[in-house]
Amino acid sequence: MFLYKLEVLLADREVVLIVMGDSDEEVMNEAEMHLSKYYVVPPVIREIVLVEKKRANKGSAYVIEQK
């Protein structure tokens, strides 16, 4: 399993999403599903960019800076 850090460009904002999965394809599908569940009105997704991929081990983490 891997931890994926994704940057997602929506119609009106950018969000960072962390998803755990076995493959790039699985994670992209999961990202879209989580975004549609999170927002009351499913957002328009313009772009999803895989920024970083790490093996999911105890202590694995990402530092996310706010812009």
Tokens linked to 41: 């009105």
Instruction: Let me know if residue 37 belongs to a domain.
Output: yes
Predicted confidence (pLDDT) per residue in 4-60, tens digit: 999 999 999 999 999 999 999 999 999 999 999 999 888 999 999 999 999 999 988
In this predicted structure, the answer to whether residue 65 has a pLDDT above a threshold of 90 is no
Of residues 14 and 65, the one with the higher pLDDT is 14
Instruction: Let me know if residue 17 belongs to a domain.
Output: yes
Number of structural domains found in the chain: 1
Q: What is the pLDDT of residue 60?
A: 86
Instruction: Let me know if residue 62 belongs to a domain.
Output: no
Instruction: Let me know if residue 66 belongs to a domain.
Output: no
- Structural domain containing residue 13: 2-55
Give the number of other Cβ atoms within 10 Å of residue 29's Cβ: 13
Instruction: Let me know if residue 64 belongs to a domain.
Output: no
Q: How far apart are CA 29 and CA 37, in angstroms?
A: 13
In this predicted structure, the answer to whether residue 66 has a pLDDT above a threshold of 90 is no
